[in-house]
Amino acid sequence: MSVVSKDIKVNKISESRIDEVDMANIQFGKNYSDHMLVAYYENGAWQQPQIMPYNNLSLSPATTFMHYGQAIFEGIKAYKTADGEPIIFRPRDNWKRMNRSAERMAMPHITEEIFIDGLRELVNLDRNWIPTSEDTSLYIRPFMLAIDEFIGVRPAEKFMFIIITSPAGPYYNKPVSIYVQDQYVRAFPGGIGFTKAAGNYGMSMYPTMKIKEMGYDQILWTDGFEHKYVQEIGTMNVFFVIGDTVVTPPITEDTILAGVTRDSVITLLKEKGITVEERPITIGELQTASHEGRLKEAFGTGTAASIAPIYALTYHDDKMLLPPIETWDVANWLKQELADIRYGRKADTHNWMVTV
């Protein structure tokens, strides 16, 4: 797989749409910046990528991904430092993860030149779209689609890679209430739970709609064999503080997404000397810890949500309330620490931040 030319063609907008956007009240996922990057894969190679004005796509109704879901995506965030310089959080980790998703979904690897250089060029061009107030960022959405005009079922031969960016506020505005799911299943060993395949999110819509009707915000998925071991929450990895130990399910069985925020959280906690265990966690262990007053904190982690505190976990008729969030040590510290690194207020000792 090679790039015909690693240069990126740039076709700029004639007039920015930025004045149409209320940056002071920005929400998640509603507005899109002036430009997007598009690259096509055909005849076994990625063609020259282009940055062009953000626009609708024109595709045949027979396009593969529309029927069979051969589609994957990533989520990344860019911030601005106090001196107004754009910086992107760990994009190479997302690039590598996209290629793991691509492999499992029989899609081509995307090159570093197109993903990373393209992303940097795009963010540089639309740097005015990066909001600067606390809890805001430029959310970056790279995605790949199978675009053969063919409705037989086989891996496609043509693909499209696109990056769009979106000025974004927080994904969750308040702590979340979680329902422990033991009817529907998100992932099995050998499945696609570890990928960011579109279908992983599509399949969650119905169970999520059902629990929202019951007044909960998100699902805590459990394993499909016994509904006993916890996996992920909605669109996030999950962490619990039990006594003085932070626990999170392991990513060893291909059922759980290897979150970049998850990895950052584990790194920061270990450096602070806090014990972190990546191990199977049963819902019974959480119930016992909660009833004995040892379940101190619970939170989700993800690019969009960053650190999302959980105020209650419900399993059948057992509603486990967490202590008041203002009293939490771990999640509140992590949120601040990550924000300080991302907005360039604290030294980036891990080389996580990439300039444009």
Residues of the shown chain interacting with ligand COI in the complex, contacts defined by CB under 6 A: 75, 201, 235, 302-304
- Among 200, 159, 186, 173, smallest CA distance to 74 is for 200
Residue nearest to ligand COI (CB): 75
Distance of closest approach, residue 259 Cβ to ligand COI, in angstroms: 8
- Which is closer to ligand COI, CB of 52 or CB of 162? 162
- Which is closer to ligand COI, CB of 75 or CB of 169? 75
Measure the CA angle with vertex 340, ends 338 and 343; round to 5°: 105
Distance of closest approach, residue 221 Cβ to ligand COI, in angstroms: 14
Measure the CA angle with vertex 346, ends 337 and 142; round to 5°: 70
CB-based contact 307:299 (threshold 8 Å): yes
CB-based contact 145:159 (threshold 8 Å): yes
Q: Which two tokens stand for residue 139?
A: 């959310």
Distance CA 119, CA 229 (A): 37
CB-based contact 108:33 (threshold 8 Å): no
Q: What is the DSSP letter of 138?
A: E
Distance of closest approach, residue 23 Cβ to ligand COI, in angstroms: 20
- Which is closer to ligand COI, CB of 201 or CB of 225? 201
Distance of closest approach, residue 303 Cβ to ligand COI, in angstroms: 3
- Which is closer to ligand COI, CB of 185 or CB of 236? 236
- Which is closer to ligand COI, CB of 290 or CB of 303? 303
Distance CA 118, CA 85 (A): 17
- Which is closer to ligand COI, CB of 246 or CB of 260? 260
Beta bridge partners of 242: 245, 295
Other Cβ atoms less than 10 A from the Cβ of 221: the count is 27
Distance of closest approach, residue 268 Cβ to ligand COI, in angstroms: 18
Distance of closest approach, residue 198 Cβ to ligand COI, in angstroms: 10
DSSP H helices in 24-90: 64-68
